[in-house]
Structure 1
Amino acid sequence: MAEENYHIKVMSKQNLATAIDWAVAEGWNPGLHDIESFYAADPNGFLMGFLGDEAIASISVVKYDNSYGFLGFYIVKPEFRGKGYGLKLWQAGLQYLEGCNVGLDGVVEQQGNYKQSGFKLAYGNIRFEGFGGGDEPEGIGLVDLNELSFSEVQDYDSAFFPTERHVFLKHWIGQTGSSALGIKQAGKLVGYGVIRPCRNGFKIGPLFADDALLAEELFLALKSKATPTENVYLDVPEVNLAGVALAEKYSMEPVFTTARMYTGETPEISVNRTFGVTTFELG
């Protein structure tokens, strides 16, 4: 490895756009407007490796607070793999998150490497692919999340994430081209979800609900925002059997799996009410 020419820098927003393009090439299908939400979560949490002036590797190590961070976007350009550049970037990323419990959603074939760095398997996730269309359910208390007080959304979200993520969440539910819907019953939020446009079709994420019936109603409402010819994706924790059953009920097919792993103890989040993961990149 040409050590003297290899250096690591905090990404600019333009660098992050490059990393997102690399993710497209890897088949990860990021959202069209994810960059604003991602960068807002932690502008210092995106690192890029350069060989001279050429960007060749990326990693995100978003620090939500001093107790929890999430690792993603770990990509080395194909022609530079196997030369140690990625490992140096990985080490720099984990150093930034030192002292944090670190989560990731990694490709299954890399589990062994992640375990060598101290990550332990919590559960798997399954990406399901189907189609949009259908009618929005009526009479179930659907609300636009952006018309609620943000604190109400934040309070509900707190059961599903290891720590507070209000900066990211505010951007996520308001991002361009997305629909963010909740269900209120007896004056209380009992579920919410977001559908956003991606390079290919749309992704629903998150999809959080107090029970499977509410999750299904939300899923149908979100799915209706896409046309019957557009692909819709849902990333379901495989331990949530009701979530897997929901995807299968609507003829969605599994196309991709990841391993949710942590360096510390598995956080006490409500996986049994998580019918769709927010995003594999940031948790």
Structure 2
Amino acid sequence: MQDQAFTIKVMTEKEVGIAIDWAAKEGWNPGLHDAHNYYKADPNGFLIGYLGDEAIATISVVKYDSSFAFLGFYIVKPEYRGKGYGMQIWQAGLAYLKHCNIGLDGVIEQQDNYKKSGFKLAYRNIRFEGSGGGYAPENLETIELATLPFADIKEYDKTLFPADRSGFTQNWINQPNSKALGILENGRLAGYGVIRACREGFKIAPLYANTAKLAESLFIALKTSTRYDETIYLDIPKVNQAALALAEHHNMKPSFETARMYTKEKPHLPLDKVFGVTSFEIG
């Protein structure tokens, strides 16, 4: 019997759902609408490997511009691991991102493997989980993000991400089963956050704010859109001590860590304003 050929192709939006399902099985708890939102970030940035007619490997290589990209969804079906298929799709993904500074959030145990491909540790992220619900004080200065001109949101977001991702952001803040809030300081946007429904519970992602006080106001307002018996998740850069204190104050517990790595220099971003990462999969 002739060996089946291993072929790699760009995913359709429907096939991105395969990567999402596999990520759920790996314990990454994706959002209910992540396939659509992630695909919009870069329709050419999702690769899938087939052995004959069977999908066996995935990787996302979202290119935001000619200089910055983010890698994720590097998954091989368990029964096909250790056979070289993962390395083939990995190399195809890196070829698409040639010359880019590539970021990724990898499991801690795989750091050495990523280092072999030129990735260097920048810092760690910690996923916290806790209970939803609660009541928001009446003096919270949060507003519905949709009431602001998108140009204001784009201007704020570009200070917190290494590349223009305005197309993605516009989809992200308007996705179904979510709530997006902003907070103003002296009439200007000084932070925003999004909470979205996931396979389990809800993730607050991102949570950006100029100060810890503003971040707490956003966090409380977003959290109160869920019930006490629902779980909320927040992914925090370990270098942001105020964000860690926020999680601790709200009785959130760490569940796992990732290694944020880059192939070139770590982008110069104000991580003291990042109280919650947007996505471990696409940055």
- Quote the residue 1:237 is aligned against: 237
Q: Match of 2:19, as an amino acid?
A: A
- Quote the residue 1:65 is aligned against: 65
- Quote the residue 2:104 is aligned against: 104
Matched, 1:271 2:240: no
Query: What is the distance in 2 between the residues matched to 1:108 and 1:126?
Result: 11
- Quote the residue 1:260 is aligned against: 260
Q: 4+ runs of 1 displaced by more than 6 Å?
A: none
Query: What is the distance in 1 between the residues matched to 2:91 and 2:276?
Result: 30
CA drift at 1:3: 7.6
Please list, as runs of the form range in 1=range in 2, the aligned pairs for 1:127-206 lying within 5 A after superposition: 127-206=127-206
Query: What is the distance in 1 between the residues matched to 2:222 and 2:250?
Result: 13
Q: Is the 8 A contact 2:142 2:217 kept in 1?
A: no
Q: Match of 1:108, as an amino acid?
A: I
Q: Match of 2:270, as an amino acid?
A: S
- Quote the residue 1:16 is aligned against: 16
CA drift at 1:140: 3.2
Q: Match of 2:187, as an amino acid?
A: G
Give the gaps of 5 or more residues in structure 1: none
Give the gaps of 5 or more residues in structure 2: none
- Quote the residue 1:27 is aligned against: 27
Query: What is the distance in 2 between the residues matched to 1:72 and 1:220?
Result: 30
CA drift at 1:136: 2.1
Q: Is the 8 A contact 2:177 2:196 kept in 1?
A: yes
Q: Is the 8 A contact 2:67 2:100 kept in 1?
A: yes
Query: What is the distance in 1 between the residues matched to 2:25 and 2:212?
Result: 34
Query: What is the distance in 1 between the residues matched to 2:202 and 2:188?
Result: 28
Deviations 1:82-102 (A, max 9, x none): 101000000000000001000
CA RMSD of aligned residues (A): 1.0
- Quote the residue 1:250 is aligned against: 250
CA drift at 1:56: 0.3
Q: Is the 8 A contact 2:33 2:175 kept in 1?
A: yes
Normalized against structure 1, the TM-score is what? 0.98
Query: What is the distance in 1 between the residues matched to 2:137 and 2:158?
Result: 26
- Quote the residue 2:280 is aligned against: 280
Q: Match of 2:281, as an amino acid?
A: E
Report the secondary structure of 1:18's partner residue.
Answer: helix
Query: What is the distance in 1 between the residues matched to 2:200 and 2:69?
Result: 28
CA drift at 1:4: 5.7
- Quote the residue 2:41 is aligned against: 41
Q: Match of 1:251, as an amino acid?
A: N
Q: Match of 1:73, as an amino acid?
A: F
Per mean C-alpha deviation after superposition, the further-off stretch among 31-40 and 2-11 is 2-11
Deviations 1:114-144 (A, max 9, x none): 0000000000000001010011232232111
Query: What is the distance in 2 between the residues matched to 1:137 and 1:145?
Result: 19
Identity %: 60
How many residues are matched? 282
